[in-house]
Amino acid sequence: MNLLSLEGKTCLITGSSQGIGFQTANLFVQHGAKVFISSRDENSLNLALEKIKSNYPKSEIFAIKCDVSIESEVKLLFQTIFKTYKSSLDVLVANAGILESSLIGMVTKEHLNKIFSINTFGYIYCCQYASRLMMRNSMGGSIIGISSIMGLSGYSGYSIYSGSKAAIIGVTKSLSKELATSKIRVNCLSPGYIQTNMTQGLPDKNKEEVMKMIGMGRFGNPQDVANAVLFLASDMSSYITGEVLSIDGGMAK
């Protein structure tokens, strides 16, 4: 029996038009999952759908536009998933997020609302609706949040982003206890520096500083994270919940 198989499982990956989410969707399809990808950017989402379908023409994959910071859109997203298969949800990968810097003296209310509404509130909304669907399934389910190394150890100039990602860890820890009796596992990943479009905009000076902190001497790539997501989504991790798994090449302190 292949414990990494996702055959027959219905999975949702938010923020999956590129980077970690896109790579995770590819991997899930390879392992037999029925996959819903989601993003607030409809054009990039449709391009992602076309790429995956061209690589795996027999795959069951659907794209649904959704801004996770808007609760009504999240509700509609999960209603659509339920109507499509008339079944519960098995896996949620709550990957949607944004990365922005701001020195504390320059932080505005608008900046706070923007970062937390997507990174933190969006995670909570998705967990709320996913858990309701998963409770329909006697086998439970797996919720996987994407935090960040900054949520564990912080980084100068990114206090608001770090705070929004640290909140994901706190929510994950509590939900793992709350949902355990329903056989729903809740874990999160804490990636280090991963080479994606999101991190490309960081100044070269910052990248050089980060590289010096990475014991393995290289930046991570989306596949490194997707592999860990697959592990937490699969039955290979059936007795693991409430954990924060760092994927950082030895960077965390």
Catalytic residue among 129, 158, 161, 193: 161
Closest CA to 228 of 67, 23, 12: 23
Sheet bearing 61-65, strands edge to edge: 61-65, 34-39, 10-14, 91-94, 141-146, 184-191, 244-247
Which value, in Å, is the radius of gyration of the alpha carbons in the chain? Answer: 17
Using CA atoms, how far residue 7 sits from 20, 141, 149, 153, 185, in Å, is 21, 14, 31, 37, 18
CA angle 152, 89, 7 (to 5 degrees): 100
Number of Cβ atoms within 10 Å of the Cβ of 242:
16
Question: Residue 116 has which token pair?
Answer: 């937390």
Distance CA 222, CA 48 (A): 15
Using CA atoms, how far residue 252 sits from 100, 103, 172, 206, 245, in Å, is 20, 22, 19, 16, 11
* Annotation marks residue 155 as catalytic: no
Number of Cβ atoms within 10 Å of the Cβ of 127:
23
> What is the set of active-site residues?
161
